[in-house]
Amino acid sequence: MEGDAACSDSIEEAPAPVKSRTARYLDSLGFVNIAEADSSIAIDLMYTRADNFTGTILYEDLKEAYLHPDAMKSLKQAQHLLRERHPGYSLVVYDAARPLSVQQKMWDTVKGTSKYIYVSNPSRGGGLHNYGLAVDISILDDKGLPLPMGTPVDHLGKEAHITEEAALVAQGKLTEQERANRLLLRQVMKEAGFRPLPSEWWHFNRTGRQTAKERYRVIP
């Protein structure tokens, strides 16, 4: 008994993860940590790694995904809607709130190239990510694997355009199953109040840009 008691006394709870400086700043602005608000939603921030369209790590210290509370409320609803249809599935977030300073790095990468149309110009106020009102997202199956969508997230090309899906299927560049998976994602996100972006199947906005500028605060 004494030995068991001694072992029990020696067990300590693991310390809570230390938040990054950027995460603490977003907390101070009133943004919501997605993992804390709904731990069932998977997080895999693509800009914490170099395997994105810029080829560089853009989030040097941010490891957490944040959203404005209005967007977070809708995201939780989308997760609920998805699991009503497919109990083993889960949304996975690849990017959410993005500081304008990171937006500038992205813009500098595409400025002067044909890819500039895919990145919001920070000098014009940036995009909805910079207000915490947009999310880059997909779906994981019941084994935790991403559903095939025809292109990777962050693919800058017509293959990612939702307006081109019928033609892509006809050309053999997108399968019917991949198209159905995209439709499932759009259905749950739109029902929850998000708006799809025509050029990126993974990108959804919670509101329009003008409304964001009038009612919300950009993240420096």
Under 8 Å between Cβ of 42 and 35: no
Best CA proximity match to 155, nearest among 107, 200, 121, 102: 200
Best CA proximity match to 70, nearest among 185, 186, 194: 194
| CA–CA separation, 178 and 171 (whole Å) | 14
For the beta carbon of residue 103, count every other beta carbon within 10 angstroms. Answer: 23
The stretches of the chain forming alpha helices (DSSP H) are 2-10, 21-28, 34-37, 69-85, 100-110, 165-170, 176-191, 209-215
Best CA proximity match to 58, nearest among 92, 18, 99: 99
The answer on whether 129 is annotated among ligand-binding residues is yes
For the beta carbon of residue 125, count every other beta carbon within 10 angstroms. Answer: 16
The answer on whether 136 is annotated among ligand-binding residues is yes
Tokens of 155: 């693919």
Catalytic residues: 200
Best CA proximity match to 26, nearest among 99, 94, 126: 99
Residue 209 CA: distances (Å) to CA of 29, 70, 71, 170, 179: 20, 15, 14, 34, 27
Annotated binding site for Zn(2+): which residue ranges? 129, 136, 203
Annotated binding site: which residue ranges? 129, 136, 203
